[in-house]
Amino acid sequence: MTKTKINADLLKERRNCTFDVQELIHLNDGGIHNTAKRKEIEEYVLSFDELKDKIPEEYLSHKDRYESAVRKGCILISVLQNRWKDQSTVQFSGQNNLYRIVCAVVKDMSPFMLHFGMFLPTISSQASPEQQAEWLRSGNNMIGTYAQTELGHGTFLRGLETTATYDATTEEFIMHSPTLTSYKWWPGGLAQTANHCIVMAQLHISGKNLGIHAFLVQIRDIETHMPLPGIKVGEIGPKFGFQTANNGFLGFNNFRIPRKNMLMKNSQVLKDGTYVKSKNDKLTYGTMVYVRVNIVTELAFEVARAATIAVRYAAVRHQSKMKPEDPEPQILDYTTQQHKLFISIATSHAYRTVSDWLWKTYHQVVADMTTGNMKNLPELHALACCLKAVCSSDATTCVEQCRLACGGHGYMTSSNLPILYGFVSATITYEGEYTVMMLQTARYLVKVYKQAYEGKSLPPNTAYITKHLEAKNSWVDSPEGIISGLQAVAASIIKQTCEMLFQHIESGKSYADAWNLSLVQLVNASEAHARVVLCEMYWRETQTITSTVSKNLAIVLQQLAELYLYYWALEKRGDLLMFTTITKEDIRKLQKRYEELLALIRPNAVGLVDGFDIRDEILSSTLGAYDGRVYERLMEEAMKSPLNSEPLNASFHNYIKPYLFKSKI
């Protein structure tokens, strides 16, 4: 990976590793073929000097930083398309690790991300075959984004104010932003990058509102890239992160588009204004479910990046003394450090494992939908909502723990942990705000509970509700016992929440008021359900995976999965005390086993993060490079500061010196 001398501590850690790291790399990539393809792409892309920064991004102005991201983004796409004709290679998202090369090119966020991540997938899933043939053809010169969220409304789609009014005399839709709050706000690449966008708007025909529909809208001239008449578009300004994403706003002033630009795979508007309703409104869930499943996959990678940085740093860093007569130990030897970091390694594996399972579920449901079978779509939607919400929240905590585990150096932008935190924390909000997503799942759980109460069979991932409502929730100290205990917790919280909701209604309150009074518990119920799914699927899928790998790797993967279960059992000990027969002594046993697992994983910690196989260019971190040259890299990066380009800054003569002599300090 690098020709420089490897830090002695990292060499020692790698010698002590008990499993074949290369085997783990192939497993994480989904096979040796995928590893080879990923490495080929990384080697090829990183051979282009035009994609390397002479000055770190963070020292550029806001404008220069964006322009650099566009320049490198265009080169990257061209490089990939010229070398690989297979378009899947340049998707930068989905069920593989290929997209992660973008992180080596644009440190923060590519302004083209939504073109590949939402614009093209929406056309693929929502446009008619004829529209797809036209809009997805090579050479159409479209750079797209996805404009749904507005200044005044986000996740509540029915509240969107942008209108698309059909004019049958011209066979056009009139796109209009009637208020300031109806302006589209947030889409990545919208400000100056995209020339087209998918716009979600209220469809109006003959004075009747027919609800939210998707429209393909050209917003800039293809040749000049100037905004078209009737379009007001620009950037929303600096943010907590995503500085190069080019997030924008968009307003319409009676802007006309052809009738054919409404995405018509499901619903159609005929020439005379006749509206053909979709056979099933749930078909429109497709794109958002896809994006939410994809987010879980991406979070696995981002947590892996943070864990790699922090674990390698913890192996190199020596601090304090455990015993006065001993030398300063590696901080990775402290149990508190292991407690902070090893859960991130386990969490990344959990997300990758669960997202693989979720992708299989997604593809099966999509296949069923093509035959008209919508039976499993509600469960998939509920799963995608709560897993997207809980995983994004947990991932943010993991990245922050990794940053804190690096002490003061983790506060340096050059560690890349602050940028990672800004990126991951955004996932809590975008493509479905955390609380709203949890309440989407809660609505599903209330329906499922009613079915259980009526003695009906439940979908597979909620069948535990019936089981634990009918049986005594006895505690068993084992991984399977922990899963059963978390199921008992979730079933009990769902039951209590539903009973409280129904009591409010029986007392005379409207359903809306009863729902509002129950919101906190409804969110808790969804979180408990998500914990069950994450723990059960991670553990179950790990049993399958470990039967296919070497004994030594199987042992470590089992330890990680067990660590994840014991960690969350301890985190939820209060709920377990309330809803199972667990005792204080049982909790002490959980803590003891958890600490044993930390000790068992410790010799393999560096090997495990090496198993993520994330190149130094993709880590973009002074603390986490493969060679462990932490202090040298920190100084080298510090010397890139423009303030270090000269020994005396002009501010001394302009401000400090006059002040000193004037005030006589």
What three-state secondary structure class fits 248?
strand
Q: What angle do CA 618, 621, 622 make, to 5 degrees?
A: 145
Residue burial 452-461, b: 16+ Cβ < 10 Å; e: rest: beeeeebbeb
Q: Contact, 573 vs 587, CB < 8 A?
A: yes
Which residues lie closer than 8 Å to 348 by C-beta, 6 or more apart? 300, 301, 303, 304, 307, 612
For 415, the token pair is: 């560690």
Per DSSP, 158 falls in state: G
Place of tokens 């609800």: 211
**How far is 69 from 583, CA to CA, in rounded Å?**
56
What three-state secondary structure class fits 526?
helix
Q: Helices 519-546 and 377-405 sit at what angle, rounded to 10 degrees? A: 80
**How far is 293 from 296, CA to CA, in rounded Å?**
5
Cβ neighbours around 540 below 10 Å, total: 16
Residue burial 35-61, b: 16+ Cβ < 10 Å; e: rest: bebbeebbeebbeeeebebeeebbebe
Which residues lie closer than 8 Å to 212 by C-beta, 6 or more apart? 157, 158, 160, 200, 201, 202, 203
**How far is 178 from 248, CA to CA, in rounded Å?**
18
Closest CA to 579 of 455, 494, 480: 494
Q: Contact, 495 vs 512, CB < 8 A?
A: no
Place of tokens 């594996």: 349
Beta bridge partners of 317: none
Beta bridge partners of 146: 198
Q: Contact, 628 vs 10, CB < 8 A?
A: yes
What three-state secondary structure class fits 124?
helix
**How far is 300 from 611, CA to CA, in rounded Å?**
13
**How far is 605 from 223, CA to CA, in rounded Å?**
53
Active site residue 431: yes
Which residues lie closer than 8 Å to 655 by C-beta, 6 or more apart? none
Catalytic residue among 379, 431, 527, 536: 431
Phi-psi region of 589 (alpha: psi -120 to 50; beta: other; left: phi over 0): alpha
**C-alpha 204: how far from chain center:** 34
**How far is 392 from 397, CA to CA, in rounded Å?**
9
Place of tokens 């085997």: 23
Closest CA to 331 of 557, 567, 562, 623: 623
SS (H, E, C) 407-472: HHHHHCHHHCHHHHHHHHHHCCCCCCCHHHHHHHHHHHHHHHHHHHHCCCCCCHHHCHHHHHHHCC
Q: Which residues are catalytic?
A: 431
